[in-house]
C-alpha cells in the first residue's frame, strides 16, 4: 500500500470466435422463440473449456477399425471404474505442480480484470494486465487485490512458498468479486502447463524491493532503532510464526485456499456498525466467513471455578490464561501476526479489534510470562515492535488511529508491563537465564520505538503536577491512570476478618 509504481503490459485484443450457430429468423411470430437453443449442461460457458485428452468409447473404436459400422449419435460418454469407499478414503491428493525455471515459487491469478490494484507483502501497485509473480522466496506471503487502491473492500489469500519451485494458481471470481481456487482444476493445470509462455509476463518478486516506498525516520531522533528496522526485508519478522496448520485453523479452509476478505468476521466478537453496513453491500457467500482465533474477545482471563486470591491473581495477570490454551508458542505469536497483517492490508475491522484485544488484554497483561516462558515473551515483544515499525514506515494508515482510547490503553499497558518486568528481573538478578535477559532487551527495543511517538513509559512516570492554561492561570492536575497500579506492594488492599463489634480480628489488644 505504499508504492504507486505501475507495471504496464500491452493489452491483447479480445478475439471473438464464431460459435457456428445459425441465426434465427426474426420475421417469425413474437410468440415463438427468438433463437434456436441447444442443450448445454455445466457451470462454464459454451466454448470456454479446453480438451486435453479425448477419450474414445468402445463403439467409437469399433467405428475406427470397421468403417462399415454406423456410429450412434446417442452414445453416452464412457464411464470410469467405480471406486470403493476405501479407495476414496485412502486416495492421496495429487502433488502440487512444479516448474524448472528456477528462482522460486510462482503465483498465478487467472481472469483478474485490467487496471486492478495488486499487493503482496509490503508493496502494492496498479497493473494494466496482471498475470502473477515469480521468484517468490520460501516462507509465508500475503497477496491482495482491489478494484482501486482506495476501495473499501479488498480480498486476499495466503501462500506458503517452499524451496521446491511450486506453482500456486488462484482465480478471480467475477460473480462474487473475490479471489478463490480455480473453478476448474483442468484449467489450472492448463495454466501450469504453459508456464514457459506466461513466465515473461510475471512480475518479479524483487520488484517490491526496488519500488517499495519506505518512510524515512526523522533525523532529529538520537535514539537507536531496532536491528531489523534498518532491513528492507522486514516481512520475515512479521510472519515468522505463520504456518500452514495455523492458516487452516483460522480460516477453516483447506491447504492452498486460505482466502480472506475485508468483511470476514471474528467468531464470538460483536459486530461493529461499519461491519453490519458493509455486510449488506456484499454477496452473502462472502459475508458468512468467520475467522477462528483462540483468544476470544468475550472470554475472561480467570477461571470461574477459582476463588479468593487465586482468582484475583488470574484476573490481573493473564499468564495462566495464556498458558492454558494448549496451543504452541508459534500459534500464539502467529495469531497476533495474522490479525495485524489481514487487518491492516484488507482494512478488516474485526481483525484489528482482535489484534488490540490480544495486545492490551492478553500479551501485555501476562506479567509473569518472562519468568515462566521467556522464549514466548521475547517473541511476542519482538513481533509487537516489528508491527509498530512496519505500521510507521510501510503503511499509509496507522493502527494507532483505530480509536481514541486504544493508543492511551496501549501506553498505560506498556508502563505497567515495564514496572512488572523490572520487578521480575531485579528479583532474579544474577540468576536470570540468557532467555530471561533477552526479554528485557526485546522490551528495551520496543520502548525505544514508542519513544518516537512521544510516549514516556519510564517507571517514574509523572502523574501529578501543574499546568498553565491559555489565560496564564496555573492549575494542579493529578493523573488517575495508574491509580490501580499504586495499590500494590505494601499499599495493596487486603481482606481482613471482623468480629461482632466491627473490629479486625487477630490484633493484639491491651485491654
User: Could you give the CA distance from residue 406 to residue 383 in angstroms, rounded to a whole number?
Assistant: 18
Q: Are the CB atoms for 96 and 105 separated by under 8 Å?
A: no
Average pLDDT over residues 136-152: 87
> Is the domain of 236 the same as that of 203?
no
pLDDT at 46 over 80: no
> Is the domain of 189 the same as that of 260?
no
> Is the domain of 389 the same as that of 261?
yes
> Is the domain of 288 the same as that of 400?
yes
Q: Return the DSSP state at 117.
A: E
Task: Report if pTM > 0.85.
Answer: no
User: Could you give the CA distance from residue 282 to residue 146 in angstroms, rounded to a whole number?
Assistant: 14
Task: State the pLDDT confidence band at 224, using cuts at 50, 70 and 90.
Answer: low
Last residue within a domain, chosen from 431, 453, 475: 453
pLDDT at 265 over 80: yes
> Is the domain of 119 the same as that of 262?
no
> Is the domain of 260 the same as that of 358?
yes
Q: Which residues contact 162 (CB under 8 A, 6 or more apart)?
A: 105, 138
Q: In Å, how far are 75, 78, 94, 125, 286 from 58, measured between CA atoms?
A: 10, 8, 28, 54, 45
pLDDT, greater one: 121 or 70: 121
Task: State the pLDDT confidence band at 11, using cuts at 50, 70 and 90.
Answer: very low
The candidate with the shortest Cα–Cα distance to 123, out of 151, 144, 108, 93, is: 144
Last residue within a domain, chosen from 404, 424, 453: 453
> Is the domain of 266 the same as that of 175?
no
- In this prediction, residue 405 carries a pLDDT of 86
Last residue within a domain, chosen from 152, 178, 211: 211
- In this prediction, residue 176 carries a pLDDT of 85
> Is the domain of 239 the same as that of 206?
no
For residue 313, being part of any structural domain is answered with yes
Average pLDDT over residues 7-25: 41
For residue 446, being part of any structural domain is answered with yes
Span between the terminal Cα atoms of the chain, in Å: 78
- In this prediction, residue 263 carries a pLDDT of 86
pLDDT at 215 over 90: no
> Is the domain of 275 the same as that of 356?
yes
The cell numbers describing 374, all together, are 521467556
For residue 95, being part of any structural domain is answered with no
What does the mean pLDDT of the chain come to? 75
For residue 477, being part of any structural domain is answered with no
User: Could you give the CA distance from residue 179 to residue 281 in angstroms, rounded to a whole number?
Assistant: 18
User: Could you give the CA distance from residue 51 to residue 56 in angstroms, rounded to a whole number?
Assistant: 13
pLDDT, one tens digit per residue, over 338-362 is: 999 999 999 999 999 999 999 999 9
Q: In Å, how far are 163, 166, 220, 243, 447 from 138, measured between CA atoms?
A: 6, 10, 37, 12, 31
H or E stretch at 158: strand 155-161
Average pLDDT over residues 477-502: 59
- In this prediction, residue 370 carries a pLDDT of 95
Residue ranges making up the domain that contains 315: 231-453
For residue 384, being part of any structural domain is answered with yes
H or E stretch at 110: strand 105-110
Structural domains of the chain, count? 2
> Is the domain of 359 the same as that of 431?
yes
Q: Are the CB atoms for 337 and 383 separated by under 8 Å?
A: yes
For residue 504, being part of any structural domain is answered with no
For residue 398, being part of any structural domain is answered with yes
User: Could you give the CA distance from residue 387 to residue 240 in angstroms, rounded to a whole number?
Assistant: 12
Quick one: what percent of the chain has pLDDT higher than 90? 31
The cell numbers describing 247, all together, are 492458516
pLDDT at 114 over 80: yes
Q: What is the CATH number of the domain that holds 135?
A: 2.60.34.20
pLDDT at 450 over 50: yes
Please tell me whether residue 340 adopts helix, strand or coil conformation.
helix
In order, the DSSP letters of 177-234 are TEEES-S-HHHHHHHHHTHHHHGGGSEETTHHHHH---PPPPTT--SPPPGGGG-S--
Q: Give the least confident one: 39-43, 255-259, 324-328.
A: 39-43
> Is the domain of 263 the same as that of 385?
yes
pLDDT at 88 over 60: no
For residue 409, being part of any structural domain is answered with yes
- In this prediction, residue 122 carries a pLDDT of 85
Average pLDDT over residues 210-222: 52
Q: In Å, how far are 76, 86, 298, 461 from 82, measured between CA atoms?
A: 16, 12, 50, 75
Please tell me whether residue 489 adopts helix, strand or coil conformation.
helix
- In this prediction, residue 468 carries a pLDDT of 66
Average pLDDT over residues 360-380: 95
> Is the domain of 302 the same as that of 433?
yes
Q: Are the CB atoms for 96 and 166 separated by under 8 Å?
A: yes
pLDDT, one tens digit per residue, over 17-41 is: 444 444 445 444 445 555 555 565 5
User: Could you give the CA distance from residue 261 to residue 339 in angstroms, rounded to a whole number?
Assistant: 12
Amino acid at each position: 500500500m505504499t508504492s504507486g509504481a505501475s507495471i504496464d503490459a500491452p493489452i491483447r485484443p479480445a478475439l471473438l470466435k464464431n460459435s457456428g450457430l445459425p441465426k434465427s429468423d426474426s420475421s417469425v411470430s413474437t410468440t415463438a422463440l427468438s433463437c434456436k437453443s441447444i442443450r448445454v449442461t455445466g457451470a462454464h460457458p459454451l466454448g470456454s473449456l479446453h480438451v486435453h485428452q479425448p477419450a474414445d468409447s468402445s463403439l467409437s473404436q469399433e467405428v475406427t477399425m470397421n468403417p462399415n459400422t454406423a456410429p450412434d449419435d446417442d452414445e453416452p460418454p464412457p464411464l470410469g471404474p467405480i471406486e470403493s469407499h476405501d479407495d476414496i478414503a485412502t486416495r492421496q491428493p495429487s502433488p502440487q505442480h512444479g516448474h524448472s525455471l528456477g528462482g522460486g515459487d510462482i503465483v498465478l491469478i487467472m481472469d483478474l480484470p485490467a487496471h486492478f490494484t495488486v499487493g503482496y507483502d509490503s508493496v502494492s501497485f496498479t497493473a494494466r494486465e496482471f498475470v502473477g509473480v515469480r521468484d517468490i522466496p520460501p516462507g509465508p506471503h500475503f497477496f491482495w487485490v482491489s478494484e482501486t487502491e482506495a476501495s473499501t473492500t479488498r480480498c486476499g489469500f495466503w501462500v506458503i512458498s517452499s524451496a521446491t519451485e511450486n506453482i500456486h494458481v488462484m482465480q478471480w471470481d467475477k460473480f462474487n468479486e473475490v479471489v478463490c481456487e480455480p473453478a476448474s482444476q483442468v484449467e489450472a493445470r492448463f495454466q501450469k502447463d504453459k508456464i514457459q509462455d506466461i513466465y515473461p509476463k510475471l512480475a518479479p518478486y524483487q520488484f517490491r524491493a526496488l519500488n517499495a516506498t519506505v518512510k524515512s525516520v526523522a533525523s532529529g531522533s538520537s535514539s537507536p532503532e531496532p536491528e531489523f528496522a534498518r532491513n528492507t526485508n522486514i516481512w520475515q519478522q512479521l510472519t515468522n510464526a505463520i504456518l500452514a496448520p495455523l492458516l487452516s485453523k483460522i480460516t477453516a479452509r483447506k491447504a492452498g485456499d486460505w482466502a480472506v476478505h475485508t468483511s470476514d468476521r471474528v467468531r464470538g466478537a460483536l459486530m461493529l456498525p461499519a461491519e453490519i453496513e458493509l455486510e449488506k453491500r456484499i454477496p452473502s457467500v462472502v459475508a458468512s466467513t468467520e475467522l477462528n482465533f483462540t483468544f476470544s474477545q468475550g472470554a475472561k482471563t480467570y477461571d470461574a471455578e477459582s476463588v479468593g486470591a487465586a482468582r484475583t491473581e488470574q484476573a490481573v495477570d493473564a499468564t495462566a490464561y495464556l498458558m492454558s490454551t494448549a496451543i504452541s508458542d508459534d500459534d500464539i505469536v502467529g495469531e497476533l501476526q495474522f490479525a495485524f497483517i489481514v487487518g491492516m492490508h484488507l482494512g478488516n475491522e474485526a481483525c484489528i479489534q482482535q489484534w488490540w484485544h490480544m495486545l492490551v488484554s492478553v500479551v501485555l497483561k501476562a506479567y509473569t510470562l518472562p519468568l515462566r516462558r521467556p522464549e514466548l515473551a521475547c517473541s511476542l515483544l519482538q513481533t509487537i515492535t516489528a508491527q509498530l515499525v512496519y505500521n510507521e514506515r510501510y503503511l499509509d494508515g496507522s493502527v494507532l488511529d483505530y480509536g481514541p482510547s486504544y493508543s492511551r490503553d496501549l501506553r498505560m499497558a506498556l508502563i505497567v508491563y515495564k514496572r512488572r518486568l523490572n520487578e521480575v528481573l531485579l528479583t532474579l538478578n544474577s540468576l536470570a537465564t540468557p532467555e530471561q535477559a533477552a526479554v528485557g532487551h526485546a522490551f528495551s527495543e520496543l520502548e525505544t520505538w514508542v519513544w518516537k511517538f512521544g510516549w514516556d513509559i519510564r517507571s517514574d512516570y509523572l502523574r501529578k503536577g501543574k499546568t498553565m492554561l491559555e489565560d496564564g492561570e496555573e492549575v494542579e492536575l493529578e493523573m488517575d491512570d495508574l491509580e490501580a497500579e499504586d495499590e500494590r506492594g505494601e499499599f495493596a488492599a487486603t481482606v481482613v476478618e471482623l468480629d461482632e463489634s466491627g473490629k479486625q480480628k487477630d490484633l493484639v489488644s491491651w485491654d
